[in-house]
């Protein structure tokens, strides 16, 4: 009998999960596993930036997502086994106990995530990984990934010219292979106890993504329910006009948290956009939403093209100015104690909720890099530790973009904080909202 492990990473869903579908097709018995010590679950920042741990906000969203995934697996006669520790320490032993070396998972081409797979291979696991986090499959592109254009606009133009087709999302599997025999003497994690251990978090009435409310909770079922509500509303056509809002639940699609954990497939989101346009007609809002999803793809393909180069200080540049990172200044920035009220408000919102708007992410990143002369990698690590919608590709790509260490032809983006405050918070209502945490 063929026994297989399925290792969930940033794909905490049953719908549109090609890697899981492949595992199902090749298994007589299947053990779904999640590792709390994996790069997908924990902060992996450089210790040079100080002790950073995943925020309570990020941990809570992850636990809610895992609890939801387990419930859905149980409805299909399976269950999620959650284990502590790094994958390379846990999964080979679990495989040995089940007399299997076969492990399926999704492909993630970021440094820590790739190292996890390498270590599993060294431990004797036969890892079959599937690329599945982008709207377009790498093989569907009108060029080889090694020839990815160095500018996003050119990437978008080539896709449009070639009429590149996005993959259709897969349905939820009708059934799963049964679980293998019980493994005795092996430590697993009780998710309910883990949630209790995390402690009680008080709802934050100012939160733009109130993840403690059922409608915005972590997990696939909440993600799909949100998708249905969003495209049944009048919000999608107004996406472009409202996307630079600073606070509230209606100024953007609010899909980023579920996309980041993989509780929502980007192809499922794109299919809903297509259905919406077929019903109401093409509009500027959904067209702009598609462009944002292309940015998401671009950062993923950039990682496929350049790999570990994107994680060094100079990024894709040959030469950079000397580094003048000041740990004390960085601490003041991270706590929202700078001379700039808008920056402070944004950083305090992040601490209190695990979220801030895309507009403000650019502003605070620019301030750290260009005004405080801080190391962009420290800012990226802080976002990794704090954000409930942390996505390694988007986070790395955007920080490189602001710093001018990526593919931006303008060599970085420097924002005038006072002008940003005047343009996007003219009555200072956002700044007053987050004067204190």
Q: Are 428 and 421 contacting, i.e. CB atoms less than 8 angstroms apart?
A: yes
pLDDT tens-digit readout, 57-68: 999 999 999 999
On the question of pLDDT at 185 being above 60, the answer is no
On the question of pLDDT at 52 being above 90, the answer is no
- pLDDT, position 437: 74
Query: Among positive and negative, which fits the CA dihedral 22, 23, 29, 34?
Result: negative
Tell me which residue has tokens 């750290």: 368
- In a domain? residue 182: no
* Alpha carbons 53 and 32: distance in angstroms, whole number: 26
- pLDDT, position 409: 75
Strands of 46-185, DSSP E: 81-83, 102-106, 126-130
CATH number, residue 227: 1.25.40.80
Are residues 81 and 156 both part of a single domain? no
Q: Are 399 and 379 contacting, i.e. CB atoms less than 8 angstroms apart?
A: yes
Are residues 280 and 383 both part of a single domain? no
- In a domain? residue 265: yes
**Percent of the chain residues past pLDDT 70, beyond the cut:** 98
Nearest Cα to 303, choosing from 50, 8, 10, 1? 10
Name 30's bridge partners: 4
* Alpha carbons 296 and 213: distance in angstroms, whole number: 27
Per-residue b/e over 35-52, b at no fewer than 16 CB within 10 Å? bbbbbbbbbbbeeebeeb
Helix (H) or strand (E) holding 276: helix 266-280
Q: Which residues contact 322 (CB under 8 A, 6 or more apart)?
A: none
Are residues 291 and 340 both part of a single domain? no
Q: State mean pLDDT over 377-400.
A: 96
- In a domain? residue 175: no
On the question of pLDDT at 425 being above 70, the answer is yes
Of the three residues 254, 276, 311, the one that is the final residue of a domain is: 311
- pLDDT, position 411: 77
- In a domain? residue 180: no
- In a domain? residue 200: no
Confidence of residue 432 (pLDDT cuts 50, 70, 90): very high
What domain range includes position 48? Answer: 1-132
Q: State mean pLDDT over 354-371.
A: 97
Question: DSSP letters along 176-223, please?
Answer: -PPP-S--TT-----HHHHHHHH------TT-SS-TTSGGG-SSHHHH
In the structure encoding, which two tokens stand for residue 99, read together? Answer: 């007399």
pLDDT tens-digit readout, 152-172: 999 999 999 999 999 899 999
Lowest-pLDDT choice from 7-11, 137-141, 321-325, 365-369:
321-325
Q: State mean pLDDT over 201-205.
A: 92
- In a domain? residue 278: yes
On the question of pLDDT at 45 being above 70, the answer is no
Of the three residues 311, 332, 353, the one that is the final residue of a domain is: 311
Are residues 25 and 127 both part of a single domain? yes
Q: Are 88 and 286 contacting, i.e. CB atoms less than 8 angstroms apart?
A: no
Helix (H) or strand (E) holding 427: none
Query: Among positive and negative, which fits the CA dihedral 149, 151, 157, 160?
Result: positive
Q: State mean pLDDT over 186-202.
A: 87
Lowest-pLDDT choice from 112-121, 141-150, 337-346, 405-414:
405-414
Helix (H) or strand (E) holding 123: none
Are residues 259 and 228 both part of a single domain? yes
Are residues 418 and 304 both part of a single domain? no
On the question of pLDDT at 107 being above 80, the answer is yes
Across the chain, how many H-helices and E-strands are there? 18, 5
* Alpha carbons 147 and 180: distance in angstroms, whole number: 44
- pLDDT, position 164: 94
Are residues 283 and 323 both part of a single domain? no
Higher pLDDT, 204 or 50: 204
Mean pLDDT computed over every residue of the chain? 94
CATH number, residue 426: 1.10.579.10
Q: Are 87 and 79 contacting, i.e. CB atoms less than 8 angstroms apart?
A: no
pLDDT tens-digit readout, 238-267: 999 999 999 999 999 999 999 999 999 999
Are residues 235 and 334 both part of a single domain? no
Q: State mean pLDDT over 388-412.
A: 92
Are residues 128 and 40 both part of a single domain? yes
On the question of pLDDT at 198 being above 80, the answer is yes
- pLDDT, position 1: 61
Tell me which residue has tokens 């995934």: 69
- In a domain? residue 70: yes
Query: Among positive and negative, which fits the CA dihedral 189, 192, 193, 197?
Result: positive
Of the three residues 311, 344, 368, the one that is the final residue of a domain is: 311
Are residues 341 and 273 both part of a single domain? no
The whole-model pTM stands at 0.96
- What's the number of domains the chain is made of? 3
CA distances from residue 123 to 5, 30, 44, 94, 96 in whole angstroms, order as listed? 15, 20, 22, 12, 11
CATH number, residue 48: 3.40.50.620
Are residues 126 and 160 both part of a single domain? no
- In a domain? residue 201: no
Largest CA distance in the chain: 67
Are residues 213 and 116 both part of a single domain? no
């Amino acid at each position: 009998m063929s026994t297989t492990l399925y290792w969930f990473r940033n794909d905490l869903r049953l719908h549109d999960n090609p890697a899981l579908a492949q595992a199902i097709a090749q298994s007589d018995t299947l053990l779904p596993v999640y590792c709390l010590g994996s790069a997908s679950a924990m902060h992996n920042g450089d210790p040079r930036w100080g002790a950073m741990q995943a925020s309570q906000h990020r941990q809570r969203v992850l636990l809610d997502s895992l609890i939801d995934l387990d419930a859905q697996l149980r409805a299909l006669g399976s269950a999620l086994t959650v284990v502590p520790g790094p994958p390379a320490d846990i999964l080979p032993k679990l495989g040995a106990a089940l007399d299997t070396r076969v492990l399926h998972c999704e492909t993630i081409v970021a440094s820590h995530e790739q190292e996890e797979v390498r270590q599993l291979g060294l431990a004797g696991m036969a890892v079959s990984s599937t690329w599945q986090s982008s709207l377009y499959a790498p093989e569907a592109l009108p060029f080889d990934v090694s020839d990815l254009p160095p500018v996003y606009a050119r990437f978008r133009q080539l896709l449009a010219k070639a009429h590149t087709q996005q993959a259709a999302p897969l349905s939820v599997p009708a059934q799963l292979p049964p679980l293998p025999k019980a493994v005795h003497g092996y430590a697993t994690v009780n998710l309910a106890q883990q949630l209790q251990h995390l402690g009680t978090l008080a709802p934050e009435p100012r939160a733009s993504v109130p993840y403690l409310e059922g409608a915005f909770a972590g997990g696939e079922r909440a993600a799909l329910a949100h998708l249905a509500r969003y495209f049944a509303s009048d919000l999608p056509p107004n996406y472009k006009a409202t996307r630079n809002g600073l606070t509230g639940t209606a100024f953007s699609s609010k899909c980023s948290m579920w996309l980041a954990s993989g509780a929502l497939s980007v192809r499922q989101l794109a299919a809903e956009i297509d259905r919406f346009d077929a019903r109401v007609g093409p509009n500027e809002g959904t067209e702009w939403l598609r462009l944002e999803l292309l940015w998401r793809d671009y950062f993923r393909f950039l990682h496929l093209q350049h790999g570990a180069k994107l994680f060094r200080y100079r990024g894709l540049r040959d030469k950079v100015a000397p580094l003048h990172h000041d740990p004390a200044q960085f601490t003041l920035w991270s706590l929202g104690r700078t001379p700039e009220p808008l920056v402070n408000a944004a950083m305090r919102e992040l601490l209190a909720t695990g979220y801030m708007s895309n507009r403000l992410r650019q502003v605070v990143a620019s301030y750290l890099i260009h005004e405080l002369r801080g190391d962009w990698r420290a800012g990226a690590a802080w976002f990794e530790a704090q954000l409930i919608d942390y996505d390694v590709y988007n986070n790395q790509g955007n920080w490189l973009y602001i710093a001018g260490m990526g593919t931006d032809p303008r060599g970085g983006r420097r924002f005038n904080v006072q002008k940003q405050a005047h343009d996007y918070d003219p009555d200072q209502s956002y700044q007053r909202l987050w004067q204190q945490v």
